[in-house]
Every structure is written in structure tokens, then in C-alpha cells.
Amino acid sequence: MLAAKTKAPDFTLSDKEGNAVSLADFRGKKVVLYFYPKDNTPGCSKQACAFAGAYEEFKKRDVAVVGISKDSIASHQKFADKYNLPFILLSDPELIAIKAYDVWQEKKLYGKVSMGVVRATYLIDEEGNIEHVIPKAKPDTNAAEILEYLQSM
């Protein structure tokens, strides 16, 4: 995992409409950058819905919410439509941001070892620096945990 108080790696990825989105586009506002394994899986759906439910609170604080996985643009479109997700989903099939943010790691499931995206969340400040890191984000409490952190500032 990348550490707080370090420069956030910039990237340019496609959103669910195929538009190019860069981290630099958000200079001047905070960004919740959350990485998740796969669209339409129970944990990832729960996490996305929690961010959707808290989206107005993030908007009030002028904080952008961006979810990143290695799923395709088409998969993101279906996922966003199915759950009415109001925030940005970025497709990273080439693992550009996923590797830059050190969330492509060895995972174990039922004794089988494989590489995959670990669920992690970064809060990026207005100048593009990592302000806060949640290395093992929990799907159901991730959004609330970030809001709690923002309120404590």
C-alpha cells in the first residue's frame, strides 16, 4: 500500500461512458479513490451501494467519489445502471492505476493463491497527495468510515 503524505500517482482511465478521466482533473478538491475486485459481486455491490447512499454527504463536502476495478467499460455501465450509482467508475483492465496504487496483490481463496485487486481506499487531498489510507476496506462500512474521517478534520 502507498502511504499517507505521499504524492498520489496520476492516471488517465475510461469511465463508464468511455470518457477519459485523470486524477489531475480533480485538483482543488478531495477525492475518495476506492479500488474493488469485481462489478456485481456481493461485497463490491454492497460497497458501491454504501457510497451511493452517502453520495450527497460527499457532494456537500465537495469530495469526488471514484471507484476503480479492472472490469470493462460495458461492465461498469451495467453495474452503475443496476444500482443507480451516481459517482464515477473507472475501468483499468491494463492495471495502470491498480498497480500504481499497490492494490494488485496475492490473494488466497479456499487455499488457492492468485493475483487480484485488494479492496482499499485512498483519500486524495486538493493538491494531489494521499491524505488517508484504508488498506483493508470493509464493503459495508467503507463509505461511513471515510465520512467519519472527513468530519473529524
The radius of gyration computed from the CA coordinates of the chain, to the nearest angstrom, equals 14
Whether 116 maps to a domain, the answer reads yes
Whether 33 maps to a domain, the answer reads yes
Whether 2 maps to a domain, the answer reads no
Whether 18 maps to a domain, the answer reads no
Rounded to 5 degrees, what are φ and ψ at 62?
60, 45
Could you tell me the CATH number of the domain that includes residue 107? 3.40.30.10
> For residues 37-71, b (16+ Cβ closer than 10 Å) or e, as one string?
bebeeeebbebbbbbbebbeebeeeebbbbbbbbb
Whether 78 maps to a domain, the answer reads yes
Whether 87 maps to a domain, the answer reads yes
Catalytic residue among 31, 32, 33, 44: 44
Domain span holding position 104 = 28-151
In this prediction, residue 126 carries a pLDDT of: 97
Instruction: Show pLDDT as tens, one digit a residue, over the chain (153 residues).
Output: 899 999 999 999 999 999 999 999 999 999 999 999 999 999 999 999 999 999 999 999 999 999 999 999 999 999 999 999 999 999 999 999 999 999 999 988 788 899 999 999 999 999 999 999 999 999 999 999 999 999 997
Whether 3 maps to a domain, the answer reads no
Name the domain count of the chain: 1
- Grid cell of 60 as nine digits: 456537500
Overall pTM > 0.85: yes
Please indicate whether residue 49 is annotated as part of the active site: no
Residue 75's H or E segment, with its range, is helix 73-83
Whether 22 maps to a domain, the answer reads no
**Of the candidates 55, 74, 75, the residue with the CA atom closest to the CA atom of residue 64:** 55
- Grid cell of 86 as nine digits: 451516481
